[in-house]
Amino acid sequence: EIDYVSVLNRNLPRDIRVIGWCPVAADFLARFSCLGREYKYLFWKRALDVSKMQKAAFKFIGEHDFRNFCKMDAANVSNYKRYITDFNISACDQRSNHDELWSMNIRGSAFLWHQVRCMAAVLFFVGQGLESPCVVDSLLDITKTPRKPQYTMAPELPLILRSCLFDGVSFMCSSDASQALIEHLKDEHHQYMLQAAIFDEALTCLSIPEPNPLEHPKKKRKHIPLLSREAEPSYEERRARVKAKSANV
């Protein structure tokens, strides 16, 4: 039998790896046949109030309309209700420069476009003390907040799709391919650690200048509460535009 994992990994870029394969039915679709997904979103704790973030995160659990926590695709999506089964925030066993690495751990049946990054962005506002955990309730209440306030979603780099649940799918990987994969990931990890060490070395070479009493401190950007911000078009408004555009074609 062909060792698909080894064959594919020999032809993929170093930062992309196959970890298993499985024969499936002809009508199988990885996206729509998936019964559940687990995401992780990593972040440095810094001065964030994680307890408030967790209080807000619990509000996501259950079935809600998440149109205010996604990038809306009115042309292809009409149902914005999704079910979150678990949302917890926990510390990772890693530290750097006296800071702790933490993780948002989210499980659900399905997710909208950029939903996790939008949820993370709002939780960061809560962790910074810029928003109350209750803002999640307001944004999930589509009657009260039918239009998404304008805010920037969290960066994509720390987002991990950790696992997907399928019915009757059991991934296979030969022992040789598995060992090669482990060695590859260890090597990649060491390379990134070397890069981190280079940045650490650069930091040790920098001297911190004494503060100049004549310089005016930079003003911090004022936070506009989410519910007071300009809002994006509602789903109904977007849908009307899509229909009007189609009618003119």
Instruction: Give me the residues paired with residue 51 across strands.
Output: none
* Secondary structure (DSSP) of the chain: ---HHHHHHHHS-TT-----B----TT--TTTS--EEEEEEEEE-TT--HHHHHHHHHTT-EEEE-GGGS---TTT----EEEEEEEEEEEEEEEETTEEEEEEEEEES---TTHHHHHHHHHHHHHTTSS-TTHHHHHH-TTT--SPBP-PPPPSTTEEEEEEE-TT---B--HHHHHHHHHHHHHHHHHHHHHHHHHHHHHHHPPPPPP-TTSPPPPPPPPPPGGGS-BPPPHHHHHHHHHHHHHH-
| pTM of the complete model | 0.90
pLDDT in tens, 227-236: 999 999 999 9
User: What does the buried/exposed string (b/e) look like for 177-196 if buried means 16 or more CB atoms within 10 Å of the residue's CB?
Assistant: beebbeeeeeeeeeeeeeee
pLDDT in tens, 31-64: 999 999 999 999 999 999 999 999 999 999 999 9
Task: Please tell me the distance from the alpha carbon of residue 226 to that of residue 209, in angstroms, as a whole number.
Answer: 37
Whether 242 contacts 74, CB under 8 Å:
yes
pLDDT on residue 216: 72
Residue 41: count of CB within 10 angstroms of its CB: 21
- The C-alpha angle 18, 23, 26, rounded to 5 degrees, equals 115
pLDDT in tens, 104-159: 999 999 999 999 999 999 999 999 999 999 999 999 999 999 999 999 999 999 99
- Bigger pLDDT: 33 or 213? 33
Whether 18 contacts 9, CB under 8 Å:
yes
pLDDT band at 73; cut points 50, 70, 90: very high
User: Percent of the chain having pLDDT more than 70?
Assistant: 100
Residues in CB range of 62: below 8 A, 6 or more apart: 83, 84
Q: Is the pLDDT of residue 215 over 90?
A: no
- When pLDDT is averaged across residues 5-28 and rounded to a whole number, the result is 92
Per domain, the residue ranges of the chain are: 33-171, 174-203
Q: For the domain covering 33-171, report its CATH number.
A: 3.30.70.660
- Bigger pLDDT: 207 or 62? 62
Question: If you search the block for the tokens 């909208």, which residue do you land on?
Answer: 112
